[in-house]
Amino acid sequence: MRGWRWLQLPALLCGALVMACDRVAPEPTSRAIAAQPWDSVLAQARGSTVTWRMWRGDPSINAFIDQWVAPRLLERFGITLEVVPGQGPGMVNLLVTEREAGARGSSDLLWINGATFASLRREDLLLGPWADRLPNARYIDTASVIIARDFEQDPGGYESPWGQVEYALIYDSARVPDPPRSVAELGAWIDAHPGRFTHDQSFSGMTFLKILMYALGGGVERFQGGFDSTAYAAGRDSVLGWVTRHRAGFWRLGATYPAGVAELHRLFANGEIDFSMSNNENEVISKVRQGILPATARPLLLRDGMLANAHYLGIPVNARNPAGAMVVADFLLSPEAQLEKLRPEVWADGSVLDVSRLPEPWRGRFAAQARDPHALSPDSLRRYARPEVDPEYHERLTDDWRRTIRANTPR
């Protein structure tokens, strides 16, 4: 009897948790807000607080949000912006846990794309459709496949685009005056300069492997149209084969890899390696201006093609202030905010607007927007931009790289 008593508490807790499993999230009345006239959305948003969950890892992005966006939202719409940190997979975890606990939402707006969007849609955790109703949505460059499809998924009004970027390598023009310009040249360069190249283990590093997969596996077309296991197997084998062939020339003989892109930048800035990389072709420009990367650091595209993608804003299904979130998303789509964000000294994040749809004076202002002399030309960016494919490619390639390359260090 005495021993049985000890079991009571765990049994009670398990029971409570199992009951929580079956708990259904309350049907959000917030769905109705998405269907209201814009004026009443604005009226409801006035005087409210919007909690925006986003990646807070870049000081220039933080400065744009905190010092430029937030004061304007307060002044024009009476919205107080509260920014809280969070990243893709973590947001999915948080929202599922909130739903299980039947808790009120802790965020109104989410910065998402790709696999996070897929997971949130699969779990039915996003509010929508609302994005097409934003007044500034009429300026979006809907002809661009990069913006109109998020990793081949139709946003369907469940997320609103607010920026686009293209993957680029980063090199130091003082140390590497004649950098490799294709995957084949990069392989030869690595062999000739042992210990001076690596990639990280996080999202950026895995995206680099996906670029190799396109280049070595016959182009992005082979992987388009949903996940195909045969195409994947062939693509994976060619990438992992390439890595194995050149591994001895990697930093630390390819026995260890930096955890994230921040560590990769640090190794590059300290001269331990000669290349870094970034999801945003302009990150090198803003990091040079901030003094984080050497003044001679430059972006580099490989001729085999790079990856371009857009990033979006979503509203969680348990948001407390969906009206406020919609107003913030609309403001971020405005020509004014898109132009400010594009400036190299601010963030240099690509605009998602079709400039030809804009009224004057915005069309002229976009045309006159000064570019950094070291930035890549729009022509090259367009020529080498390849769209993202089904998120499962990224998932599977990450898993296979971890098991077959990372966990098998040649000693």
Partner 1 sequence: MIRRGAGLAAFLVATPVLIGIAYSALASVGLLGPGSTGFSTASWASAFDDPQLLRGLGWSLWVASAATALATMAAVVVAALFRPGTRSSGVARLLAVMPLPLSHLAAGVLGVLVLGQSGLLARGAFMAGWIDQPAAMPALIYDQWGIGLIVVLAWKEFPFLALIAFSLLADRGRALEEAARTLGARGRAVFWAVTWPVLWRGLMPAVVAVFAFVAGTYEATVLLAPSDPLALPLLTMERYTDVGVAKRGEAHVLVLIGLVVGIGAVALHEAARARDRRAT
Interacting residues toward partner 1 by CB under 8 A: 9-10, 13-14, 17-18, 20-21, 87-90, 92-93, 96-97, 100, 115, 119, 122-123, 195, 201, 203, 252, 255-259, 263, 266-267, 270-272, 391, 394-395, 398-399, 402-403, 406-409, 411
Distances (CA, A) of 376 to 3, 93, 186, 274: 71, 37, 19, 19
Q: How far is the CB of 203 from partner 1 (least distance, A)?
A: 8
Q: How far is the CB of 143 from partner 1 (least distance, A)?
A: 29
296 neighbors 378 (Cβ within 8 angstroms): no
Q: How far is the CB of 253 from partner 1 (least distance, A)?
A: 10
Identity of the residue, 258 or 324, whose beta carbon is nearer to partner 1 in the bound complex: 258
- What tokens were used for 51? 């909690």
Q: How far is the CB of 199 from partner 1 (least distance, A)?
A: 11
Distances (CA, A) of 78 to 41, 64, 232, 320, 324: 13, 19, 50, 17, 10
Q: How far is the CB of 399 from partner 1 (least distance, A)?
A: 8
Identity of the residue, 12 or 43, whose beta carbon is nearer to partner 1 in the bound complex: 12
Of 50, 181, 191, 187, nearest to 108 by C-alpha is: 50
Degrees, nearest 5: CA angle 249-251-255: 95
Identity of the residue, 7 or 370, whose beta carbon is nearer to partner 1 in the bound complex: 7
Identity of the residue, 350 or 391, whose beta carbon is nearer to partner 1 in the bound complex: 391
Q: Strand, coil or helix: what is 49? A: strand
User: Given CA atoms 135, 140, 143, 148 in this order, what sign does their dihedral have?
Assistant: negative
Identity of the residue, 88 or 344, whose beta carbon is nearer to partner 1 in the bound complex: 88
Q: How far is the CB of 392 from partner 1 (least distance, A)?
A: 8
Q: How far is the CB of 402 from partner 1 (least distance, A)?
A: 7
Residue length of the chain: 411
Identity of the residue, 175 or 343, whose beta carbon is nearer to partner 1 in the bound complex: 175
Of 210, 311, 198, nearest to 265 by C-alpha is: 198
Identity of the residue, 346 or 405, whose beta carbon is nearer to partner 1 in the bound complex: 405
Identity of the residue, 21 or 24, whose beta carbon is nearer to partner 1 in the bound complex: 21
Cβ neighbourhood burial of 271 (10 Å; 0-12, 13-18, 19+): exposed
- What tokens were used for 77? 């719409």
Q: How far is the CB of 276 from partner 1 (least distance, A)?
A: 14
Q: How far is the CB of 17 from partner 1 (least distance, A)?
A: 6
95 neighbors 64 (Cβ within 8 angstroms): no
Cβ neighbourhood burial of 58 (10 Å; 0-12, 13-18, 19+): middle
Beta pairing partners, 110: 53, 314
Q: Which residue has the tokens 């969906």?
A: 322
Identity of the residue, 136 or 318, whose beta carbon is nearer to partner 1 in the bound complex: 318
d(CA 71, CA 396): 42
> Helices then strands (H, E): number in the chain?
18, 9
d(CA 331, CA 36): 18
Identity of the residue, 9 or 368, whose beta carbon is nearer to partner 1 in the bound complex: 9
Beta pairing partners, 81: 50
Q: How far is the CB of 316 from partner 1 (least distance, A)?
A: 14
